[in-house]
Amino acid sequence: PSLASARYGKDNVRVYKVHRNQETGVQTVTEMTVCCLLEGAIETSYTQADNSVVVATDSIKNTIYIKAKEHPVHPPELYASHLGQHFLDKYAHISAAHVKVVVHRWTRMEIDGKPHPHSFYRDGEEKRTVEVAATRDGISIKSGINGLTVLKSTGSAFHGFVRDEYTSLAETWDRILSTDVDATWAWKTFPTIAAIEEGVERFNAAWESARNITMKTFAEDESASVQNTMYKMCEQILEVVPESEVIGYSLPNKHYFEIDLSWHKGYKNTGKDAEVYAPQSGPNGLIKCEVSRS
């Protein structure tokens, strides 16, 4: 047997960092969960119990905190790139560092109509994500939004699909559409950290654009299907984020079933009279796509 692939490191490293503006007293917080895995000339640690090539996962965990102290943690793309590049610079036998950063929401409270200097709340379990692969050929970055749960009560249809002896689903011109948005945008590979720092504002701008495009398209599109609506989102993000190369979406179709209540005093609760629905935990549709620039 031979080792086909190997990477190891520390997962679920929770990091919090505060920035204190001494002049204004305004404090800003970032909370993230980090996974950092290393690849390289580490085969003998698996095949021959040779630990001399192992940067301990505990040391990797320490490095995650130290790099958060040394570098900005926002935008997460910059922090993840600094963290990944560190392992290439420090350990000649490491060929790649794979860093995943999941940023949690701490939205500043507005108290009596004013932003509070040091109080925040979790307005949703939506996450901002970054996956970085730092290699000696450059740094590839995939940014994303995960767990943004949305629903529209109309403006969604699904008809004209294959109808055969396996089909029981009724066609609809007016249905609820709900999903948990998992969107990603992969950047052109950056040759160096310097190239990333040059124009670093691109990352926050892209996240804002992707989030706004997702919500606006979801809300305004007279959706013919999840497939077509998500494709429209991809087209727009490619256009608005010129350095993006591939846009991906993975959208569960979280069904809300009509409930026929006609057995009870002839209640009308289906079709255009439907008001009370049964939200389904599963099964759910799952619609995926990746759209590239060319």
Task: Provide the binding-site residues for ligand AZA, judged by CB under 6 A.
Answer: 158, 169, 225-227, 253, 285, 287
Q: How far is the CB of 183 from ligand AZA (least distance, A)?
A: 17
Nearer to ligand AZA, 101 or 177 (CB): 177
Q: Which of 82, 100, 142, 255 is catalytic?
A: 255
Nearer to ligand AZA, 127 or 254 (CB): 254
3-state secondary structure 241-262: CCCEEEEEEEEEECCEEECCCC
Contact yes or no for 94/79 (Cβ under 8 A): no
- Establish whether 57 is a catalytic residue: yes
Q: Which of 28, 33, 57, 135 is catalytic?
A: 57
Task: Look up residue 229 and give its DSSP letter.
Answer: H
Q: Omega before 283 cis (within 30°)?
A: yes
Q: Which of 10, 67, 142, 254 is catalytic?
A: 10
Q: How far is the CB of 129 from ligand AZA (least distance, A)?
A: 24
Only one residue has tokens 């629905």, namely 277
Q: Which of 152, 187, 136 is nearest to 292 (CA)?
A: 187
Partners of 223 in the β-ladder? 156
Nearer to ligand AZA, 117 or 285 (CB): 285
Read off the tokens for 182. 């998992």
Nearer to ligand AZA, 129 or 225 (CB): 225
Partners of 30 in the β-ladder? 17
Task: Look up residue 105 and give its DSSP letter.
Answer: P
Q: How far apart are the first and last CA of the chain?
A: 40
Q: How far is the CB of 251 from ligand AZA (least distance, A)?
A: 9
Q: How far is the CB of 163 from ligand AZA (least distance, A)?
A: 12
Nearer to ligand AZA, 240 or 289 (CB): 289
- Establish whether 255 is a catalytic residue: yes
Nearer to ligand AZA, 221 or 243 (CB): 221
Read off the tokens for 83. 């963290």
> What b/e sequence results for 112-135 when a residue is b if at least 16 CB atoms lie within 10 Å of its CB, and e otherwise?
eeeeeeeeeeeeeebbbbbbbbbb
- Establish whether 10 is a catalytic residue: yes
Q: Are strands 244-253 and 127-135 parallel, antiparallel or unpaired?
A: unpaired
279 to 11, 23, 70, 153: CA distances (angstroms):
34, 50, 47, 12
Which residues are marked as active site? 10, 57, 255
